[in-house]
Chains A and B, each alone.
Chain A
């Protein structure tokens, strides 16, 4: 039934339509504005839930396909479709969207209309990134979403918002434009670099699936150039060490909802880029650069954790913990085996949930006390028991305690990493220990002990709205922690597809190349690529 309607387009553009509707509301009707905006986000989430049930496990790799002509001259098409990986990320996006809207009700007091318009536009951009099956379309969404994010940080951010916003924008823009050159190189290689049918061109296309097909035929040196171009774009987004410096600034200055979306969804676009493009399209370059990638991931894990430990600001601590956690995701991806990639994708979701929740929690206490300094707190568990409990659960989820989601993700990643090179896993495990240390130490300083600061004596505990947007996350954390099978069931097929593309690249090249092109022209292929 869902296949008969353009369900993905509907989900993608509902927020856009909502944003346009908001433009027509008078700006002083703030209650109406936030109710409408939240309603739109909720509607979008409800529309996306059926995807989970209608998605056929073991069916086509990409489902709910939509296809239409767009720019015939260059072969760019309007192609939407999701596999298991994208399915989970779409659901994460719509869910966190609702929570981000709910969390903004009190936190945003100025220029609300613009705020919700930008938040809705951002939602459309992110959903489009995960749904696009045309590289060009993907790129359009990838860049479109920078503009609303810039405004969210730049208008409603903290004291250094101007600096943080433009830094975020410049960093990610530099990364994306270089990625664009990589896309173009790939496009032209597919079009006239391949040695098929002597002189005849492949049709011009930006189809990601077509690129997956021809990826292993690209000569190694060209693969490495394209990989590096993609790497700049994706690594800045992830962010991988040493491209992470924009992240703490952006996080600290962004409003709570901005941080939630930034950590929960935006960073995943980087890792998603690796798993969707770099790995399957450029298998040889991936294997060639594997030690570098794994090295940077491990440095990110350890460095992020150690810097997090030194932070005095809760939000900054969570921001650096993201660097560490995303290092795990990258390590899992570059384990290039089933468990590693499975764990990495699941950990993307886990990180979105737990870090999103952490930012929400920090935002709640900031709204009440207008400070995020750990030193200003202490003994909060006495006055805010509900808050302390929820915070503890999320902390445990972030550390990776068994029965909670983080454990499943990290364990699977470690299994994968261990299979590839045992000492990678050993170093990464050190990161888990450090993670436990900084999170628990922060928890201890904020919640335990006597109340040292008299201002903390009368802090309100959570209200119904705050509980309402935290409980779903907690439930999901337990679900993934206790019964992750449905998630792995969705991931199984796409992950196997990716791993086969990368791992068997060399072998399939030997097997496929002669049947695709006469042996004599394989040399021309290499020459054309140079």
Chain B
């Protein structure tokens, strides 16, 4: 029987999930809560969770396994939890006006966001393959509903259905891989799995490769790496845009958290096998993501492919650490995801501000002459696009430099070459929006109304963070580094 005190270490997750359930309850009783009231409740519960998370951080200096070694509290987990909380708070800021215009009930929406977020936080702490899987499903099931939240829209329905079917399939594959690994190693606990698998391989167990390949395929699906990315563009385009931002950022960050933990702690002994798979997937993802983005005219679809491409860059960092490049290894991937979070949410926030009547305003042409109509908005978008391309002085630049540095140091120079060439290619499609904003004239002269204060705050915050990460990245590098200190298998 676990010590009840151990539950305190998971208090942030429990708090957030309870807040979500409470919101669901009071939001639907009688007249329920208005959009703004529910948003306020959601943000307040996120803040409280953050405070609680900070308290947990203070009480657990190193690494602590709890609840029968099924969860772990360490710097790595805390980092991702904090990142997911910040991202979710920003997504809520993005959602308020969007839901008002769409005319949908808000309480359930925010409740689902909170539940999905608590799932993500549990993912970051999961220490057995099964707890990780259950946390993953908590996140995924809420996300499916969120993607289809605009139920009167065909595209939203389509997105939800595709997401659900393919997501369920990938979860099944993941679970099948887990079962094979359990059969081979006799454990699902990450700390013991690595040794168990090494023994099984030594004993000639042929199920091990199949098991970890299936597990990896499931994880690649979740971070939308090629060739498991097919769902991404359709889901990103069809989902309500704030949900798209949420999937592109928070969901991806949490998925990378478990990917890193599983590969390094659970499959650590198989590094020599999986590093080639990881390298191939990383290269394919960078190449295909960027090439496919070149031809997109819909901005959300373009950002979808760009988010695929960015997953490829992050994988470089994950991979480079496997060569014992301890100095610039994993923290480059973590720093990149940190920068990517702010940049991507910022870019989606601009898209949302431009969208009228729910989905209108998504094509490049809708950006024509924006610099004349709304110079502030256009300038912010330039910052985000420059950062996505990886040009200084932005966080995106440093993120990429560290990743490529990690690759060069680990001897994966060819991967770095693929990375730099594809980032140069990405300039073309990112700057197509800049061309429309600054170099095309438009008949429309009305400025884009900035009457959504929450959105403007989110845009300003993301732009400031993007520039700060680009001008003085040192403190953030320290945060990323310190989150790795207690990660096992390093």
Contacts and interface: CB of A to CB of B under 8 A. Distances in A.
B328 interface: yes
Interface stretch (B47-55, B136-144, B204-212, B402-410): B402-410
A165 B166 CA distance: 42
Given A143-B391, A143-B397, A155-B439, A174 B424 contact: yes
A166 B438 CA distance: 13
Nearest to B394: A144
Given A140-B393, A143-B391, A181-B413, A169 B431 contact: yes
A289 interface: no
A173 B427 CA distance: 9
Interface of A: 70-74, 111, 114, 139-140, 143-144, 146-147, 150-151, 154-155, 161-162, 165-166, 169-170, 173-174, 177-178, 180-181, 184-185, 187-188, 204
A184 B402 CA distance: 10
Contacts of B413: 181, 185
Interface string B398-420: 00011011001100010011001
Contacts of B393: 140, 144
A161 B439 contact: yes
A177 B431 contact: no
B488 interface: no
A181 B478 contact: no
Contacts of B315: none
Interface residues of B, number: 36
Contacts of A173: 391, 424, 427
Contacts of B328: 74
B474 interface: yes
| Chain A interface, >50% SS class | helix
Given A71-B473, A73-B478, A143-B397, A181 B427 contact: no
B329 to A, nearest CB: 12
A114 B408 contact: no
A155 B439 CA distance: 6
Given A146-B391, A161-B439, A74 B424 contact: no
Contacts of B423: 177
Nearest to B480: A73
A72 B478 CA distance: 10
B176 interface: no
A180 B401 CA distance: 8
Interface string B421-447: 101100110010001001100000000
Contacts of B402: 74
B474 A73 contact: yes
Contacts of A161: 439
B392 interface: yes
Contacts of A70: 472, 474
Contact of B435 (A162, A180, A185, A204): A162
A162 B478 CA distance: 41
Interface string B378-397: 00001000100001110001
A181 B386 contact: no
Nearest to A71: B474
B96 to A, nearest CB: 29
B477 A73 contact: yes
A457 B124 CA distance: 79
B442 to A, nearest CB: 14
A169 B427 contact: yes
A181 B391 contact: no
Given A114-B371, A174-B424, A177-B421, A184 B477 contact: no
19 contacts: A70-B472, A71-B474, A73-B478, A74-B328, A114-B375, A139-B392, A140-B397, A143-B392, A144-B392, A146-B391, A147-B382, A151-B438, A162-B439, A170-B424, A174-B424, A177-B420, A181-B404, A184-B404, A185-B413
B439 A170 contact: no
A151 B382 CA distance: 11
Nearest to B419: A177
Contacts of A114: 371, 375
A170 B420 contact: no
Interface of B: 327-328, 371-372, 375, 382, 386, 391-393, 397, 401-402, 404-405, 408-409, 413, 416-417, 420-421, 423-424, 427-428, 431, 435, 438-439, 472-474, 477-478, 481
Contacts of B382: 147
A114 B382 CA distance: 13
A527 B428 CA distance: 40
Contacts of A151: 438
Given A71-B473, A178-B420, A140 B392 contact: yes
A139 B408 CA distance: 17
B420 A181 contact: yes
A513 B322 CA distance: 34
Contacts of A72: 474
B428 A154 contact: no
A157 B427 CA distance: 20
A74 B405 contact: yes
B147 to A, nearest CB: 35
Contacts of A185: 408, 413
Contact of A184 (B392, B397, B408, B473): B408
Contacts of B375: 114
Nearest to A173: B424
B386 A147 contact: yes
Contacts of A154: 435, 438-439
A419 B393 CA distance: 44
A139 B391 CA distance: 10
Contacts of A139: 392
B416 A181 contact: yes
Contacts of B401: 180, 184
A165 B432 CA distance: 11
Contact of A166 (B371, B386, B435, B478): B435
A386 B246 CA distance: 65
B117 to A, nearest CB: 30
Nearest to B382: A147
Contacts of B473: 71
Given A74-B477, A147-B382, 6 more contacts: A114-B375, A140-B393, A143-B391, A151-B438, A166-B428, A181-B413
B326 to A, nearest CB: 11
B405 A184 contact: yes
Given A174-B421, A180-B401, A180-B420, A144 B427 contact: no
A169 B428 CA distance: 9
A33 to B, nearest CB: 14
B284 to A, nearest CB: 20
A181 B473 CA distance: 20
A146 B397 CA distance: 14
Nearest to A187: B405
Contacts of B427: 166, 169-170, 173
The 6 closest A-B pairs by CB, nearest first: A177-B420, A140-B392, A73-B477, A174-B424, A184-B408, A173-B424
A74 B328 CA distance: 8
Contacts of B472: 70-71
A411 B339 CA distance: 52
Contacts of A178: 417, 420-421
Contacts of A162: 435, 439
A139 B386 CA distance: 16
Contacts of A188: 405, 408-409
Given A144-B391, A166-B435, A181 B424 contact: no
A161 B420 CA distance: 26
Nearest to A142: B392
A366 B382 CA distance: 32
A249 to B, nearest CB: 16
A161 B417 CA distance: 30
B431 A166 contact: yes
Contacts of A184: 401, 404-405, 408-409, 416
